[in-house]
Amino acid sequence: MTKLMSAPRLRGSMIALAAVGLALSSVVLSTAASASVKLPSSGVEKPPAGTVTETGSTLLYPLFNLWVGGYNTTYPSVTVQTAGTGSGTGISDAENGTINIGASDAYLAPSVTSANPDLKNIPLAISSQLVAYNVPGVLSHLKLTGKVLSSIYQGTITTWNASQIASLNPGVTLPNIPIVTLHRSDSSGDTFLFTQFLSKTDPSGWGAKIAYNTTVPWPAAPGALGETGNSGMVTGCKATPGCIAYVGISYLTQALQAGLGYASLQNAKGQYEVPTAASIAAEAASFVAKTPANGTISLIYGSAPGGYPIVNYEYAIVSNKQSSSTTAKGIRSLLEWAINPKLGAATTYLAQVNFQPLPAKVEAQSVKQILSIS
């Protein structure tokens, strides 16, 4: 090699080549830096090797685990750590930067966004919530309204055969057992959704007294129990005859296996709907035009005919300013994979948890938000 280098002509050409290479790469780099990140044709950027951490909503947790499995088959060099700790933790950890992606069923509160202008909530999928119960002898879907649920959780309706419930369900024999209300003791997006539903259907009662949040001061209904996580709600309800609980739809299979029934809820048009793919999609479709670019909107109790009233976007809470561009790229890659209709948002994954894919317009808005992570 030294012999080669010592030849003056060859040395000169090496220097020339190096100079050209330097010039080219600087041109490429500068254009790359100045232009915004563009999605490759496959729809997913190739991630650098490393770790991406996620934590948050227990409603999204089962799906995220499925996604990680699929994502790793294509990109095995990335380690994704997931945890189901509740939407509140997802939001706060993303705020603090202690986690890369926070999963939440609730969009960010205005106080959070004003304190952290870089924090974004990016819709990933559409999920929903069911009201499960453990009433022995009742095999059909009980019809319930938001006002009745509000009274139950406030403790004014205390037995299953109360007149308000019986009048909605003629022909169903309701046992005379006390209602045991279950609520989430951890900070939860499911609490946010359920209390938002109660606030919108009972604005003068629940809405005025308690309102909605990821944690609320639950009224002292007799025998009310607090559980941790969606799985805690299911196991707690299974162990308590007469219980009523709000459970994320990704736990539908577990709820059915536990022998729980779920309610048919009244929507704004007065119809009683159970959460099916059609009813969820109908509700979501009615909000597509109203969804802002930052994804912050409630899909609860819309006026879609045939729509199930408790439907929500599942959000990834991510900061726009990551500590390094490699971290940002890893996060972007995972999220792009997750919402791609052919990859993460395909029926193979979503159907396992009874979620629905994002409508096209919302998906495009989410992609835009993802690309701005750097």
Partner 1 sequence: MTSVGGVAGDVPATPPGRTAPREPMFRRVADVFRANEEKGWRWSARVAVLLPLVALVFAVTVLALKAWPAIRVNGWYFLYGKNWTYGDSYGATVSTHGVAHAAGAQFGAWPIIAGTLQSSFIAIVVAVPLSIGAAFALTERMPGWISRPLGYAIEILAGIPSVVIGLWGLLTFGPWLAKNIYPIVASIASALPNVEPFNYFRQPVGSGEGLLTAGLVLGMMIIPIITSTTRELFIQVPTLPKEGGEALGMTHWEVANRITLPWVRSGIIGGTVLGLGRALGETIAVVLVGGASLRLAPNIYQPFGTIAATILSQLDGAQADGTGFAVATLAELALVLAVISVAVNLAARAIISRTGRTGGPVGSGA
Partner 2 sequence: MTTNTSLAGGPATRRRRFSSQGFRIFTYGALVLIIAPAVWILLGVLFRALGHWRWDVLWTPLTAAGGGLRDQILGTLLLMAGVLILAGTVGVLAGIHLSEMAKIKKNGKASGGLLRTASDILSGFPSIVLGYVGYAALVLYFHWGFSYLAAVIILSVMVVPYIAKTTENSLRQVPTGYREGAEALGMSMGDSLRKVVLKTALPGIVTGLLLALAIAGGETAPLIYTANFANKIPHSVTHASFPYLTYVVFSFYDSSQVSYHYLAYDAALILVVMVLLLLVASRIIVARTQRHAEGARTKTRTPRAPKPAPDDHVELLDLPINR
Confirm or reject binding of residue 81 to partner 2 (CB under 8 A). yes
In degrees, rounded to 5, the angle at the alpha carbon of residue 236 between the alpha carbons of residues 61 and 239 is 140
Residues 219-238 that bind partner 2 (CB under 8 A): 228-232, 234-235
SS3 294: coil
Q: Are 336 and 370 in contact (CB under 8 A)?
A: yes
Using CA atoms, how far apart are residues 337 and 95, in angstroms rounded to an integer?
Answer: 23
Name which position in 57, 58, 82, 89 contacts partner 1 (CB under 8 A).
Answer: 89
The two beta strands, 143-144 and 264-266, are: parallel
Using CA atoms, how far apart are residues 122 and 254, in angstroms rounded to an integer?
Answer: 28
Sign of the alpha-carbon dihedral angle for 59, 187, 157, 235: positive
Quick note: the x/- pattern for partner 1 over 67-86, rule CB under 8 A, is: ------------------xx
Sign of the alpha-carbon dihedral angle for 142, 147, 152, 153: positive
Minimal distance, residue 115 CB to partner 2, in Å: 14
Nearer to partner 1 (CB atom), residue 48 or residue 223:
223
- CA terminus-to-terminus distance, the chain: 42
Listed in sequence order, the residues at least 6 apart from 352 whose beta carbon sits closer than 8 Å to its beta carbon are 62, 63, 66
List the beta bridge partners of residue 248. Answer: 129
> Which of 92, 107, 191, 128 lies closest to 366, judged by CA?
107
Minimal distance, residue 202 CB to partner 1, in Å: 16
Nearer to partner 1 (CB atom), residue 95 or residue 273:
95
Quick note: the x/- pattern for partner 1 over 153-192, rule CB under 8 A, is: --------------------------------xxx-----
Minimal distance, residue 328 CB to partner 2, in Å: 15
Distances (CA, A) of 285 to 264, 276, 312, 358, 359: 20, 14, 12, 9, 7
> Which of 264, 308, 263 lies closest to 285, judged by CA?
308
Name which position in 50, 205, 223, 306 contacts partner 1 (CB under 8 A).
Answer: 223
Residues 269-288 that bind partner 2 (CB under 8 A): none
The backbone torsions φ and ψ at residue 42, rounded to the nearest 5 degrees and listed phi first, read: -70, -15
Confirm or reject binding of residue 57 to partner 1 (CB under 8 A). no
Residue 16, number of CB atoms within 10 A of its CB: 10
Contact of residue 98 among partner 1, partner 2, none (CB under 5-8 Å per partner type): partner 2
Contact of residue 51 among partner 1, partner 2, none (CB under 5-8 Å per partner type): partner 2
In the numeric block, which tokens belong to residue 325? 């561009």
Sign of the alpha-carbon dihedral angle for 126, 131, 136, 137: negative
Confirm or reject binding of residue 62 to partner 2 (CB under 8 A). yes
Minimal distance, residue 70 CB to partner 2, in Å: 11
Confirm or reject binding of residue 86 to partner 2 (CB under 8 A). no
Contact of residue 78 among partner 2, partner 1, none (CB under 5-8 Å per partner type): none
Contact of residue 186 among partner 2, partner 1, none (CB under 5-8 Å per partner type): partner 1
Choose the binding region for partner 1 from 5-13, 58-66, 101-109, 264-272 (rule: CB under 8 A).
Answer: 101-109
Find the helix packing angle between 360-371 and 325-339, rounded to 10°: 170
Listed in sequence order, the residues at least 6 apart from 104 whose beta carbon sits closer than 8 Å to its beta carbon are 56, 57, 60, 87, 90, 91, 121, 189, 314, 315, 317
Contact of residue 239 among partner 2, partner 1, none (CB under 5-8 Å per partner type): partner 1
Confirm or reject binding of residue 254 to partner 2 (CB under 8 A). yes
Contact of residue 84 among partner 2, partner 1, none (CB under 5-8 Å per partner type): partner 2
Minimal distance, residue 196 CB to partner 2, in Å: 23
Q: Are 65 and 82 in contact (CB under 8 A)?
A: yes
Confirm or reject binding of residue 100 to partner 1 (CB under 8 A). no
Nearer to partner 1 (CB atom), residue 48 or residue 205:
205
Residues that bind partner 1 (CB under 8 A): 85-89, 91-93, 95-96, 106, 108-116, 185-187, 211-217, 220, 222-226, 228, 239-240
* Residues making contact with partner 2 (CB under 8 A): 51, 53, 55, 58, 61-62, 65-66, 68-69, 79, 81-85, 93, 96-99, 228-232, 234-235, 250-251, 254
